[in-house]
Each structure stands twice: as structure tokens, then as C-alpha cells.
Chains A and B, each alone.
Chain A
Amino acid sequence: MRVVLIMALKDLRLLVRDRMSLFWVLAFPLLLALFFGSLFGGDSGERAAMPVVVVDESGGEGARLVERLRSSEGLEIDTVDALDDALELVRRGKRIAFVHIRPGFTDGGFAMFGRDPKASATLALGVDPARTAERGLLQGLVTQALFSGMTEQFADPSRMLAQTQQVRKDLDDATELESKQRERLLTLMDALDGLNAADGPLAGDRTSTDAEASRSGFSLEGLLEAVDVTRDDSGQPRSAFDITFPSSIVWGLMGCATAFATSMVHERRAGTLLRLRVAPIARAHVLASKGLACMLAGMGTSALLLTFGVLALGVRVGDPLLLLLALVCASACFTGIMLVMSVIGRTEAAVSGGSWVVMMPLAMIGGGMIPLIAMPPWLLAASHASPFRWAILAIEGAVWRDLSLTQMLPSLSILLALAVVLFGIGVAVMRRRDP
């Protein structure tokens, strides 16, 4: 056993010292992960409108607000009936935020005057905690929609009058208001009524008024309530890197397989294998050492790539133990691939060339380039034939799909079965060629 370890360590040392192999094993997968991660990531500035879901429980009063939100350029609005559904959409990261129009909501800017400050807000905004960058912008956009309701009232004298009368009535009822404050507000109402009567509709240039209104510094406290949302990320990718890192790991495993297959052919041709075979070592030990080295290199590569993903890009590993299991099975499968490549290829060039010709299509259909979750159905069906698919599924299962061991068993056992079959083929071909 000791001799197997010595030989495996020698192979790892050779790998680490060979720049070309290191590129394919580490740098290339990392570049792929970074490139596709930022390509699909959509974290760039020019993203499309922010998806926001609206729940209107005001019984019709909120319909105009919904319309104004819809016409807001930065937002993409859809509606659901139940608050729970809206909350779930945000928790699962499918919408950036929800707007909840509560019962008792009154449209129009004057809703803020004469309200009982202790009464709960009639409008709520819940933003995905992962989107802190967009929070301010969202609040701004919703506020703007709210205020442009007020502008519409200014534009319509009869609605305006009805509003000021309503406010006067509310002020009478609002006993807890300081008398000074009440006086000031009543004066404001008088002024507004006068303005309305004298000059007709106030609304000039709508867009500028909108902008003015949202910047006018009215306190929104009590009117728009910020609701806390906790993200529930189970079973879905949190970012594009969650998807690109598992596939980059499989690319790394593939790089290891190619590197070791090449090194095996090299040893055969250069005569070092002759030396190993003249040493008092069983042939099985030589094979075992290559297999072990390939497995270890695969695990090491995975660990390095993942560490980078976790530390630098926020990739989160759901279940480390299952991940270890997935990596062992995936490395075993690619070790089998390595063995078959090494017995089929006669020269180093044939092995590395052949690995590109055979493995590239398998990588393509297996999710190495196009993520499995973004595949059209026909491609997803084809992916069953690729070891890439099973390796990626197993790793994703532990990284973000949050699968249980039972759920992961199919991909894990397919990987192990492939490993056994490929190993068998490799040994059989080797025996036949060189008894």
C-alpha cells in the first residue's frame, strides 16, 4: 500500500509542476466559472425592469396606484391575490419585492394628513434582503407612484375639494393632534381651496410635478411600511455562480482525467512504466496509484475552486458532507474515464486531442456550458447520456439544490456505476493488449 501512495504522490507532484496541465485543471475551469457566472449573473448595471408583485386588498381603492406602478418605467408589475403568495415569490427570489395595498388604503397625497399616526400603514413594501442595492430605488419608485396620485388630485378641482373636505373632517376627529399643528394644517387646506378656486387645475407639466412630488420631502413614516422579508434559498441557486461553479468543478475533474491519462501514456512511451514494472510492484498497484492520484487531484481541484467560489463570490455550500460524497463519486467516475482514455490513446497527443473530441460534446450536452436548468427539453433529455450531467447534478444537489441523500442517490449511483464499468473496460483492454 505504501508504494501506491508513493507513486500517487509522485504523480501529484508532477501535475503541480506542469504548467500546461495546471492550466486545464485549475485556471480554465475557474475562467469558465467566472465568465459564464458574470454573463448569466445579470448583476451588471443595465438590467431590465425590476420584477415586483402587488397584492391589492383595498377593495378597489388601490387600482389607480397599481396602474401608476405599472406605468413606472423601472418596474415590471404583476399581481397576485394572496399576500402569502407574494411573500413566497420574494422569499424564493423570484421577485425583487412585493407591494401590499392593505384594506383601508386611500389613494391620494392627503391620506397622510390628519391620519391617526398610531394606525398601521395601509401600504407595505417588502424587499428581498439580498437586493439591498435596489431597495432605495424601489422605495423611491413606489413613493413616486403614490405622490403622483396627489398630483392627479391637484389636476381635478372636484376631487381636490372632496379631499380637502375629507381632511378637514379627519382633523376634527383627530383629537390627539396638537392644536398648533391642527391650525397650520387647516390654514394649508384654506390656501389649497383658494388656489383651486382662483387658478383652476394646478397640474402643469405632469412629469416634472411627479418628480417634484417624490422629492418634496413629505414624511412617509407610517404611510409606507417596510416589511422584513427573510430569504428562503433552499433548493435554488442564489446567483449564477451557484450554477457555474459546480460545472467548473466537473471541468476541473475532466482536466485531471486528461492530465493523468496523458501522463500514463507518457510513462508507457518514455520507459518509466518499464521501470515501475521491473520494480517489485504488482501491476494493479501501478493502476491503483494512478487512480488514487487522479481522485486526489480531482478532490483538490474541487476544493480549490469551491473555496474561491465561496470566499470571493458568495457561493454557499448547502451540505458539506453530501458535497464530499458527490465529489468522491464524481472523481471516481472521471478516474474511470481517465483509465479508458489512457488505454485507448497510444500517444500523448492522441489522448489530449481525443479527450477534446469526445469530451467536449459530452460536456456541451451534459451541462458543462449551458446550465442544466436553462436547457431546452430535448437537450435535457440528451444530457442523460453524459457523465457531466450526473456529476453536475450530484454537486449541485449538495451546493444549492438542497437535495437529501435519498434524492441524490440516483446521480451518485450512476456515477459510481460508470466508474466501475469504465474501470473494468480499461483493465480489460489493458490485459488484452499486454498480457
Chain B
Amino acid sequence: MLDALDLVKSYGSTQAVRGVSFSVERGSAFALLGPNGAGKSTTLHMLVGALRPDGGTVRIDGDRDPADPQTRSLIGICPQDLAIYEELTAAENLAFFAEIQGLRGRKLAQRVDWGLQLAGLEARRTDRAEAFSGGMKRRLNLACAAVHEPKLLLCDEPTVGVDPQSRNHIFESIEALRADGCTLLYTTHYMEEAERLCDRVAIMDHGRVLAIDTVDALIDAHGGQAVVEVELAQAPASTDDLPGTLEGTTLRVETTEPLTAIETLGETLRRANLSICRLRVDRPDLERVFLSLTGRSLRD
């Protein structure tokens, strides 16, 4: 559905994107996961033809050029900034963005109702957007992107700054759109969002894609082992029999089989007559993948 090949973009001396390539299968969901300034938005703008790349090509739906208006009607974009008109009502915003896509008449009215429902704003349809909460605006922002039934939906951090409730609403909306067969490209710096919504993830940093794969494959390849962490009640007299590493009273054991590790650890501690106050198991996740790829954490 979408192919990006070797995209490059600089702003003055800032190299925002330095050779990004990936492809998104029809009907799948793809995440660009990266910290602030990684080049996610810049990449997205090049994908939709709003920004001309310094180098590289974008192909949509086979070999169509996003600069061509016909191709663009397949695309819906949910910009990172709130791209709605504050002085227009919820219904007017939806109607406007549907009309400029060529919808009219009954179809237009239907899609406006659909959009209001998607955003959960049926009761607020005649209220101006300026009167909405941040979360409501975000939901409307997403509905405006999908109101014309695009085949490819690009969401640029659609949950920035919203409360957990609205965030959940947005996730459910996106899952519903996916169920309808919409192809999704999603940028975020929340690994849980990428994990929950997307089949494949590209990890981006400093304008480069560091790894692309399914979430499981990425974790297998770069996530390392699970960590069993035990807080001991008192410092042990001797560390000879203990597995893993000990820092003060905290014992860390890396393992591919956490359950077995806990069993053996339990026996060892009982023999050494040590009691524990806390036990924690950390499964590897995308955060750890990012950490191992860049040496930094996703969010500072």
C-alpha cells in the first residue's frame, strides 16, 4: 500500500531524515516509534506529498505518486497539531473536510454522523470546537482524518496530551477503522501504543530507521532476556551461592525462562535462610529494544 525508499530531508543544516525506507502492507498497521525530533513527522509529511523530499521516492497503492491529487484522495491524515477550525462546530468541521474530498448530499450527511459517532461527539455536534476539551478536540481531529473513508490513514501522535479515557476512545476508534480494512501508519513515542495497535514497528532515531520488524521479532532480537528482580530483607552474608548480580539488597537475574528462574532462586534463598520483601519480573519490551539499540530511553 505504501513504499518509502531512501527518503532524505534537511532543514537548513538540520538533517531531519537521513535515508528512511520501509513498506506498509495493505490492511496492516505500521508504527514509526521514536523519541522527540526523530524525524517521524517529517517522514509523514513526505509520505503524503505535503513536503518534497530532498531525495528518495514515495509510492502509494502500487506506483502512484502522492503529489498527484487523485492519489491523495486515498489518504487521510491526522496531523500532530490539532488541525481543526476552532470557530466551527464539530459537525461543520467534519462536513468541511468531507466536502473538500468531494462528498455531498446524503453521503456527506451520513459521513458527518459517522464521524461524530467515531469521535463520541454526537451530543456536541452543534458546539464550536473551541468549547471542547483537549481530548474531545483530539477525537475530532482523528474523525476529520477518516471522514472520507481513506484507504490509508496516517496518524501523527494522535494521543498527545489526552486523558486516559480519551486515549482509550482513540485506540478503539483506530481499531474499528482497522477492522474496516483501513491501512494504518502510526507515529508515536509511546511503545505501548505501537505494541497494542500495530503489526510492524520501525524504530527511528536521529532521522534513521534502526530496525523494522514485528513487535515480537524486535523484542526477540533486541530486547534481551527477562529480568527477575528480588529485594532481599537483609544483605546476605555470602554471595557465593546466589545467581545473577547483587547491588546492596537488590538481586537481578536475567533469564529466558522467568518461572524456572524463580523456582531455583526460591530454593537457593530458603537454603541461605534469606527472606524477600519484593519480587518483580520485567519482560523485555520495545522500551528495552530502544534502549539496547540507542543506549538511551525513549522518553527523557
Chain A residues near B298 (CB, 8 Å)? none
* Chain A: minimal CB distance from B106 (Å): 17
Q: Are B77 and A278 in contact (CB under 8 A)?
A: yes
Which residues of chain B (122-148) have a CB below 8 Å from chain A?
A: 128, 144-145
For chain A, give the interface size range: 20 to 34
Q: Are A6 and B87 in contact (CB under 8 A)?
A: no
For chain B, give the interface size range: 20 to 34
Assembly CA distance A272 to B96 (angstroms): 11
Give the residue name and chain of the B residue nearest to A282 (CB).
Answer: B69
Chain A residues near B83 (CB, 8 Å)? 270-272, 274-275
Chain B residues near A358 (CB, 8 Å)? none
Map CB proximity to B onto A171-182 as digits: 1 under 8 Å, 0 otherwise.
000000000000
Which residues of chain B (221-235) have a CB below 8 Å from chain A?
A: none
Q: Are B81 and A13 in contact (CB under 8 A)?
A: no
A131 interfacial by beta-carbon distance below 8 Å: no
Chain B residues near A13 (CB, 8 Å)? 87-88, 92
Chain B residues near A276 (CB, 8 Å)? 100
Map CB proximity to B onto A233-271 as digits: 1 under 8 Å, 0 otherwise.
000000000000000000000000000000000000111
Give the residue name and chain of the A residue nearest to B68 (CB).
Answer: A280
* Chain B: minimal CB distance from A109 (Å): 76
A169 interfacial by beta-carbon distance below 8 Å: no
* Chain B: minimal CB distance from A83 (Å): 64
A279 interfacial by beta-carbon distance below 8 Å: yes
Map CB proximity to A onto B74-109 as digits: 1 under 8 Å, 0 otherwise.
011101111111011000100011011110000000
Assembly CA distance A7 to B88 (angstroms): 13
A384 interfacial by beta-carbon distance below 8 Å: no
Chain B residues near A18 (CB, 8 Å)? 87
Assembly CA distance A275 to B80 (angstroms): 11
* Chain B: minimal CB distance from A336 (Å): 25
A17 interfacial by beta-carbon distance below 8 Å: yes
B52 interfacial by beta-carbon distance below 8 Å: yes
Assembly CA distance A278 to B76 (angstroms): 8
* Chain B: minimal CB distance from A317 (Å): 33
Assembly CA distance A276 to B48 (angstroms): 11
Map CB proximity to B onto A79-92 as digits: 1 under 8 Å, 0 otherwise.
00000000000000
A281 interfacial by beta-carbon distance below 8 Å: yes
B45 interfacial by beta-carbon distance below 8 Å: yes
Q: Are B85 and A278 in contact (CB under 8 A)?
A: no
Assembly CA distance A18 to B45 (angstroms): 30
Assembly CA distance A149 to B164 (angstroms): 99
Q: Are B96 and A10 in contact (CB under 8 A)?
A: yes
Map CB proximity to B onto A1-22 as digits: 1 under 8 Å, 0 otherwise.
0010011001001100110000
Which residues of chain A (273-289) have a CB below 8 Å from chain B?
A: 274-282
* Chain B: minimal CB distance from A3 (Å): 5
Chain A residues near B96 (CB, 8 Å)? 6, 10
Assembly CA distance A223 to B101 (angstroms): 83
Q: Are A278 and B50 in contact (CB under 8 A)?
A: yes
Q: Are A279 and B73 in contact (CB under 8 A)?
A: yes
Assembly CA distance A20 to B100 (angstroms): 27
Chain B residues near A269 (CB, 8 Å)? 81
Chain B residues near A281 (CB, 8 Å)? 69, 100
* Chain B: minimal CB distance from A207 (Å): 69
* Chain A: minimal CB distance from B81 (Å): 4
Assembly CA distance A10 to B102 (angstroms): 15
Which residue numbers of B lie inside 8 Å of A, CB to CB?
45, 48-50, 52, 69-70, 72-73, 75-77, 79-85, 87-88, 92, 96-97, 99-102, 128, 144-145
What are 19 A-B residue pairs whose CB atoms fall within 8 Å in the complex? A3-B100, A3-B102, A6-B96, A10-B85, A14-B88, A17-B87, A270-B83, A271-B79, A271-B81, A274-B45, A274-B50, A274-B83, A275-B77, A275-B83, A275-B145, A279-B73, A279-B101, A280-B70, A280-B102
> What 8 A-B pairs have minimum CB-CB distances, sorted nearest first?
A271-B83, A271-B79, A271-B81, A280-B69, A17-B87, A280-B73, A272-B83, A278-B77
